[in-house]
Structure 1
Amino acid sequence: MASPLFPLTLSLITGLLLARYINLPLALTLILFFFSLALAWFFYLRHRLKASLALALFAFLFFGSSYYLLKNEAFEANPLRSLNSQEYLDFEGTMEKTPDFYGDRYQVLVKTEKIRFKGQEQKVSGRLQVTFPASAHSPAPEFLAGDKVRFSARLLNDDDFSNFQEPVSLTVMKAHLIHRRAFSKSLLLLDKTGERKFFLPRLFSWLSRKLQQKIEKHFRGTEGQILEEGAFLEALLLGERGRLSEETLRGLQSSGLFHLIAISGAHIAIISYFLFHFLRLFRLQDQLRSFLLIFCLLFYACLVEGRPSVVRAVAMALLYLTARLLWKDTSVLNSLAAAAFFLLLLNPLQLFEAGFILTFMATLTIILFFPRIKKYLPDLPWRLTDLFILSLTAQLGVIPFVALIFNRVTLGSLILNLPAVPLIGLIMAAGWLFFLISFLSSALGSILALAIKEIIQLFFLIAHLFDNFKPLSYRIPSPSPLIMAGYFFFLFLLILPRRFRFQRPLAALSFCLFAFFILFYPFPSSTPELRLTFLDVGQGEATLIEFPGREKMLVDGGGFQDNTFDVGEYVVCPFLWRRKIKKIDYLVLTHAHPDHLNGLKAVARNFSIREFWEAMEPADSKDYSEFISYLGSKTKRIKYFRGKKRVIAGLELEFLHPPANREISAPVSNEDSLVFRLKRGRGLLLMTGDIGRPSEKELLEASSELEAVVLKSPHHGSRSSSSGPFLDKVRPQVIIISAGRGNIYGVPHPEILEEYKKTGAIIFRTDVDGAIELIFREKELRIRTSRTRLDILHPLN
């Protein structure tokens, strides 16, 4: 067998998948592992090799399941995982790497040793990722790996946004073996107390920081900030992407060229190519050249402080080079399998991280399909044919996973990679030369930096070539596991030995069909009943209303005032894509406050919007103007005021506030909120925005009917709203409060909670229950919650 490790690795991965998605008990998987292993050995002794091999594969499968369960249990058993304090704790530990800078914040990774709280000290060993806000009043932290530190921080929960799915942050934490995250309000709370002696990572941390300083010096703007070209070079060579602007990152993602700055297989291939040809100049023997190349790759992996993407790519390269040293005939597929097997033995939890999946799937499809496709294409100059096939075959492996994980299709990268990949090679070569020259001569370093800036600007130009051609880059719902299974089954069936007549034509047609399903997702999202979902967006509001049939309405989108976290991009949009939603029929903004508006920017950017509803347009709001700029020209903008009505899917929307003659306040006020009632014979839902008691009084005076089964609590349950007469008039059976966990505003207010209890209504809170889903049936209401995992049927009175 040319690649014996490939089926073993495939078995191991299958076992990991079973353990993750099927709730198998550890005892059962261990019994099956030892039983399969014993049977495999028994048949081997009987010289029944095929049966022995099949049972050995089953043994590896159950080993994978057992190993995953043991590692996951060990991760969850770490003492940092069980700490529940929401107060500031004092930590002591050791820096594991240089702090990462993300423009408005720093992130440090610390191996904790001690925790102090209220005079008590406890030894706690675990890996803690701590975020510190960047501030002009606090100097940048000059820390290196191996520094002993002391700091105060508050532990964060894994499920800050709980919306019926395991948080992505937890998957990433497990993949990187980070046991907990924490936040500290100031860098002044971080002190160095010593340093670890004879700690090799400290040397590489120091060298990496020196190289960063060279970029900061020669790529500095007029106001002292690092230029975008410098931030790009830093990301490309050192893996530090934190200083790239959101605009640049979004442009690279949209163009499909983001993989070129995420140091991975392409970078290691380029580095290996340059080093290999450089070493050939010295007429060294192949073995010595391979040894030197292995040393250089190991050095680079240490220089970027063991970033996972680099470790994966270097592991693949090292295993291949080592195999070439030991054996004359080397299987690239076997080296790939060996790298995956080795890395999964180190940490099986990383199998489910996006970077791991994309790296190995791209490499696998390149290995399997590159030589087959190359036979049918002519050789073009400058290796354009090879570049195109590399791009095409890599896309074959990653398109379904990019659609699943990032909900993105980027067809333009097939063309853009042709000029972009060689340009990246040139930038990398010039960048490493810049590092060398800048240490020898600052003047020469500055001259070379100018040339590198021009080349990077050319790369930026290429990345934006197709910005206005939307069919080459768009967002789609996540494909189902069945569609992905069909895609890969027929893709690999194309290259398997022919077993029946018309195998390849049938496989090709079926593959194209499943590829079409992934690329365009032609399945409309529909529901037979009225379904409401109040999303957990932290301190803000976002509500999805799915009408019977296919029409969807999104009311508000959450958001943070300082825009430090894009709730729309990372919370609201992913939820909509998981619901298989491609377009929003009605996008509603109750009022233009950041905690209702800012999340809608991403929604407008990523979805087709048929109609946009509002009441009061703010006079001067940068966030609002940005949001409006994302709405397409085909989006119909409508203003609704008291007295207007609209019928959707047999349900009537009655608009109750504000009155048409209301003058907008500057800035926009909570009392400007759009209020509407959804009814079908009886009142089903009352959406209230952030109105306070003055508007509640207006509603009582102007409306004869306010009764509703579900009341969306006004102004997050604050003390300034939810008056007694208002609640008496609404007579809700269910009250939904949207608020952030541990918010600084003290909402919902205890007094208001007591008022809600007096109504006899069931109370749900997004800060406690996570997202809340309500499905209206003829005589009952089904209620599900994400964080507290309730699933109840409530009879409608």
Structure 2
Amino acid sequence: MFALALGLLALRFLPVLPPTGWLIALLVLALMLLPFRTYPVAFFLLGLSWACISAQWALDDRLKLALDGQTRWVEGRVIGLPQQTGEGVRFELADSRSRNARLPKRIRVSWRGGPPVRSGERWRLAITLKRPAGLLNFHGFDQEAWLLAQRIGATGTVKDGERLAPARSAWRDGVRQRLLAVDAFGREAGLIALVLGDGSGLAAADWQVLQDTGTVHLLVISGQHIGLLAGLIYGLIAGLARYGCWPRTWPWLPWACGLAFTAALSYGLLAGFGVPVQRACVMVGLVLLWRLRFRHLGLWWPLLLALNGVLVLEPLASLQPGFWLSFAAVAVLVLAFGGRLGAWSVWQAWTRPQWLIAIGLFPVLLVLGLPISLSAPLANLVAVPWISLVVLPLALLGTALLPLPFMGEGLLWLAGGALDGLFKALAWLAGQLPAWIPAEVPLGYWLLSLLGALLFLLPKGVPFRVLGLPMLLLAVFPPRELVPHGQVEVVQLDVGQGQSLILRTRHHTLLYDAGPRSGTFDLGARVVLPSLQKLGVKALDMMLISHADADHAGGAAAIAKGMPIKRVVGGETEGLPAFLGTQPCNSGERWTWDGVTFELWQWPDAISGNPKSCVLQVQANGERLLLTGDIDRAAEQAMLASPLAVSTDWLQAPHHGSRSSSSWTFVERLAPRSVLISRGRSNAFGHPHPQVMARYQRLGSQVYDSAEQGAVRLQLGAFAPPVVARSQRRFWRERLP
């Protein structure tokens, strides 16, 4: 079983999938080894080959390259729970078909300003189809892996559509609509998350509170909820039997086990049967089965069987962070409670699991690049029993009693009030101690932290256990690798149709542009700020906003709220938030940080908008970088008369490679060796323009496009080739063109 698990998990770490012929050979070899009792090798190969075959099926189901960007009429059935947002609706289509084209089995679409969509309905939609993709940064969320794990073969934007058939068998959506109509202190979305496992209705501020306090697992249905419900049903029947209230002709133990598992399975189906729910149902079923047979059940066996059960059913589950967190949390509890001599007091049983989970999950959160809540142990001391014993029973019972007038609504009103009180307390705690995003930790220090966590979780008296804490601290305070004197590390982030670059010298950091913001979708908060924190940046010496357009300045407010900034400079001070205290761009200003020279330029005749962009030139050991914002041809011609119009090694293409910029006289004078382009994939503006790309190709410039290669990292002053995020080989990522 352990060898099978290793084979299934190995898929997550493969840079490429083996060819089909090799997969068949591995499968045949595994079957041939079984008669010779070489079970570990055979089951490892069985797990690996099955995982690779399943992954290849998912890759083959992706949208064909020839259909990428095309708008087609598609017929399909809405599945899952559509997500209503302030701007429209997002949902998934199954059984999709289009004339003269084979489409993936599942398509995820968004409809801006679209009508209400219900699960189970059939629609005919005009969709602009796209291959699965997402922003790709060195330390960010991997959208491509998530889409593959969901087996979504295409995404798209709906232009128009018509409903062909009403909803059928959409009982989960019906329950959600009933819950939305209930008055629950404004916490209807939280109750829906608890009952149905659908957290799409929670506001961004609520998610931030849950993340800061380490209580996300309480509003995302997990094994704790499933196990609690099964335990309540089992305990209720056992109590009735003990006090003579259970029919004597019915043996109480089979009924208790059967009804407890039925309740757990029913709740799992109501919640959508995700990975944590699958694990919990398997483990609850095993525990009840062993209890029914009066046999002792080991602690690790159910966990291992649940792990294999989940991965055999869905090998791609290992691509999701929630999979690792779910099983790691249970493994920590098994390790902490197993092999202990003597009973714990009620206080110890209540408090110790929170601290042990915080320590045990620290290396897991670290390697997954997720925020770490410092207040989680304290928050969960109150939140876990409050949700488990008050909010969840009221929410489930209220949902079940909704057909009864006033009864269900009253219970849900009480559940909403209890949940609202908890959120207010958590919000206060999050304000005092927000989540911590640690800096990137080298692999060696991470392995030491993992070993330290394991040692610390062992019982008292185990040799060398005391070394666990200092080994953990090595990952908390790892030695920081400084940029060499006279050089600057430049990272162009992948922020879609926008721009943001981080420039780090030995002791200083400058941020050029802050990424886009559209409505509540703020890439300054989602990408730029976490990237700065992952690089170990505690404060910015300067944030330079080229101009006030939302794709360059939209994330500035979130970054200013997230970390101290000594100075803010902008090409357009009037278009930026007043609290930033933005200073105007002083053309000709020049300064030196750690042997690296910086110089500003701005077209004096520019009135506003793109031509007023503040341009930055950086020189390190004779290697030059020019960041131009969105200047147009007129500003380019004016710049040719400035000291910055010299041969340049690295050029940030003006205005994302727009046709209105990158004139021939400009690029010929600068003669860039390499060009950086920051833009969104399949953007509506057609950036970069083919004529612009032809000019750079004519000069022999190497182009690094964020839409194709993701984030780019270079060491200015070292005259070394850059590193692009897509060069980190993963089997689910398309190869570089």
Equivalences for residues 322-341 of structure 1 within 5 A: 322-341=289-308
Contact 1:535 1:542 (8 Å CA) reproduced: yes
Counterpart in the other structure of 1:458: 421
Counterpart in the other structure of 2:555: 599
2-side partners of 1:28 and 1:702: how far apart? 61
Q: Does 1:613 align with 2:568?
A: yes
1:370-395 C-alpha deviation (Å, 9 max, x unpaired): 25679586433xxxx32222222322
Distance 1:387 1:717, change over 3 A: same
Q: Does 1:142 align with 2:118?
A: yes
Q: Does 1:487 align with 2:428?
A: no
Give the structure, 1 or 2, with the largest relative contact order (CA under 8 Å, sep 6 or more).
2
Distance 1:128 1:417, change over 3 A: same
Contact 1:336 1:364 (8 Å CA) reproduced: yes
Counterpart in the other structure of 1:644: 589
Alignment match of 1:390 (pick from 331, 353, 367): 353
Shift of 1:687: 1.4
Shift of 1:417: 1.0
What runs of 5+ residues in structure 1 fail to find an aligned partner? 45-54, 197-201, 221-226, 629-635, 791-797
Alignment match of 2:135 (pick from 161, 186, 207): 161
1-side partners of 2:208 and 2:84: how far apart? 18
Letter in structure 2 aligned against 1:126? K
Equivalences for residues 500-519 of structure 1 within 5 A: 504-509=462-467, 511-519=468-476
Shift of 1:366: 0.4
Letter in structure 2 aligned against 1:276? Y
Taking only aligned residues, the RMSD between alpha carbons, in angstroms, comes to 3.5
Equivalences for residues 204-353 of structure 1 within 5 A: 205-206=170-171, 208-219=172-183, 228-280=186-238, 282-283=240-241, 284=246, 285-353=252-320
2-side partners of 1:435 and 1:23: how far apart? 46
Contact 2:626 2:651 (8 Å CA) reproduced: yes
Shift of 1:541: 0.9
Equivalences for residues 555-594 of structure 1 within 5 A: 555-563=512-520, 565-573=521-529, 575-576=531-532, 584-594=540-550
Structure 1 window deviating more from structure 2 (612-621 vs 67-76): it is: 612-621
Instruction: Give the number of aligned pairs.
Output: 718
2-side partners of 1:497 and 1:142: how far apart? 52
1-side partners of 2:688 and 2:63: how far apart? 29
Counterpart in the other structure of 1:533: 491
Letter in structure 2 aligned against 1:461? K
Distance 1:64 1:82, change over 3 A: farther
Counterpart in the other structure of 2:598: 653
1:728-770 C-alpha deviation (Å, 9 max, x unpaired): 5434333333222222223333444455455554444333444
Counterpart in the other structure of 1:410: 373
1-side partners of 2:727 and 2:128: how far apart? 23
1-side partners of 2:476 and 2:186: how far apart? 32
Distance 1:737 1:170, change over 3 A: closer
2-side partners of 1:719 and 1:16: how far apart? 44
Contact 1:532 1:773 (8 Å CA) reproduced: yes
Counterpart in the other structure of 2:615: 675
2-side partners of 1:149 and 1:428: how far apart? 35
Counterpart in the other structure of 1:152: 126
1:103-144 C-alpha deviation (Å, 9 max, x unpaired): 43433232234222xxxx3454622222223x3xx4311333
Letter in structure 2 aligned against 1:161? L
Shift of 1:569: 4.1
1:599-646 C-alpha deviation (Å, 9 max, x unpaired): 34454455x44534313564465xx368x4xxxxxxx97654112211
Contact 2:110 2:158 (8 Å CA) reproduced: yes
Structure 1 window deviating more from structure 2 (749-758 vs 59-68): it is: 749-758
Counterpart in the other structure of 1:737: 677
1-side partners of 2:688 and 2:30: how far apart? 56
Structure 1 window deviating more from structure 2 (676-685 vs 29-38): it is: 29-38
Shift of 1:497: 11
Counterpart in the other structure of 2:330: 363
Contact 1:682 1:708 (8 Å CA) reproduced: no
1:572-614 C-alpha deviation (Å, 9 max, x unpaired): 45555665656544432222221112234454455x4453431
2-side partners of 1:788 and 1:473: how far apart? 30
What runs of 5+ residues in structure 2 fail to find an aligned partner? 247-251, 730-737
Contact 1:11 1:60 (8 Å CA) reproduced: no
Distance 1:368 1:416, change over 3 A: same
Letter in structure 1 aligned against 2:514? G
The secondary structure found in structure 2 opposite 1:270 is helix
Contact 2:587 2:602 (8 Å CA) reproduced: yes
Shift of 1:496: 7.7
Letter in structure 2 aligned against 1:71? S
Counterpart in the other structure of 1:64: 47
Shift of 1:717: 2.5
Contact 1:152 1:190 (8 Å CA) reproduced: no
Counterpart in the other structure of 1:782: 721
Contact 2:4 2:47 (8 Å CA) reproduced: no
The secondary structure found in structure 2 opposite 1:96 is strand
Letter in structure 2 aligned against 1:179? G
Contact 1:407 1:577 (8 Å CA) reproduced: no
The secondary structure found in structure 2 opposite 1:611 is coil
2-side partners of 1:80 and 1:465: how far apart? 46
Contact 1:16 1:64 (8 Å CA) reproduced: no
The secondary structure found in structure 2 opposite 1:71 is helix
Q: Does 1:104 align with 2:87?
A: yes
Shift of 1:244: 0.9
Letter in structure 1 aligned against 2:445? I
Contact 2:546 2:629 (8 Å CA) reproduced: yes
The secondary structure found in structure 2 opposite 1:652 is strand
2-side partners of 1:439 and 1:421: how far apart? 29
The secondary structure found in structure 2 opposite 1:305 is coil
Q: Does 1:115 align with 2:88?
A: no
Counterpart in the other structure of 1:712: 652
2-side partners of 1:416 and 1:349: how far apart? 32
2-side partners of 1:336 and 1:789: how far apart? 32
The secondary structure found in structure 2 opposite 1:129 is strand
2-side partners of 1:487 and 1:535: how far apart? 29
Letter in structure 2 aligned against 1:127? R
Letter in structure 2 aligned against 1:591? H
1:400-426 C-alpha deviation (Å, 9 max, x unpaired): 222232431212111111111121120
Q: Does 1:126 align with 2:105?
A: yes
Contact 1:323 1:330 (8 Å CA) reproduced: yes
The secondary structure found in structure 2 opposite 1:440 is coil
1-side partners of 2:17 and 2:443: how far apart? 18
1-side partners of 2:723 and 2:105: how far apart? 35
Counterpart in the other structure of 2:630: 690
2-side partners of 1:681 and 1:491: how far apart? 44
Counterpart in the other structure of 1:633: none
Shift of 1:72: 1.6
Distance 1:638 1:87, change over 3 A: same
Distance 1:192 1:268, change over 3 A: same
The secondary structure found in structure 2 opposite 1:218 is coil
Alignment match of 1:89 (pick from 72, 83, 91): 72
Distance 1:407 1:601, change over 3 A: farther
